[in-house]
């Protein structure tokens, strides 16, 4: 199970290498701000409580043949979703830092730049 950093996802999206971006946050939060052309399957609350069935029940909404990049608030619950998807035979990765990381990257925030430095220093 891997992760993809926001800058790497943006590069892929810009060059047309379009992984399926799956945002698992609740719908109102998703509508308030999300990655362009992402899809929302709001199973965040269930997964956070440890209930994986909500995601498993909606697998038919996901493409079988595309890589899936899972997005949540900070990337923690998305890791659980990524594991479930990989267990079910999907190719899935987690967006490192979730939407917080994505927004920090897009704004060029100091917090994101420090986190990015740490990522480069650790294997």
The separation between the first and the last C-alpha atoms of the chain, rounded to the nearest angstrom, is: 15
Per the structure, the count of domains in the chain is: 1
Give tens-digit pLDDT for 28-85. 999 999 999 999 999 999 999 999 999 999 999 999 999 999 999 999 999 999 999 9
What's the pLDDT score for residue 1? Answer: 62
With contact defined as beta carbons under 8 Å apart, do 112 and 96 qualify?
no
Token representation of residue 69? 């990049």
| DSSP letter, residue 13 | H
Binned at pLDDT 50, 70 and 90, residue 119 comes out as: low
Range of the domain at 68: 2-121
Q: For residues 38 and 100, give the distance between their C-alpha atoms in angstroms, rounded to a whole number.
A: 16
Residue 37: CATH number of its domain: 3.40.250.10
Is the overall model pTM greater than 0.85, yes or no? yes
What's the pLDDT score for residue 17? Answer: 85
Binned at pLDDT 50, 70 and 90, residue 114 comes out as: confident
């Amino acid at each position: 199970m891997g992760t993809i950093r926001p800058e790497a996802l943006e590069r892929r999206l810009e060059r047309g290498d379009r992984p399926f971006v799956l945002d698992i946050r609740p719908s109102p939060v998703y509508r308030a701000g999300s990655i362009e052309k992402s899809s929302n399957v709001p199973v965040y609350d269930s997964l956070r409580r440890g209930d994986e069935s909500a995601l498993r029940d909606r697998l038919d909404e996901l493409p079988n043949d595309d890589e899936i990049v899972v997005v949540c608030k900070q990337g923690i619950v998305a890791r659980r979703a990524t594991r479930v998807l990989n267990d079910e035979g999907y190719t899935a990765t987690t967006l490192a830092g979730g939407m917080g990381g994505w927004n920090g990257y897009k704004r060029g925030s100091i917090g994101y730049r420090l986190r990015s430095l740490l990522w480069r220093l650790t294997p």
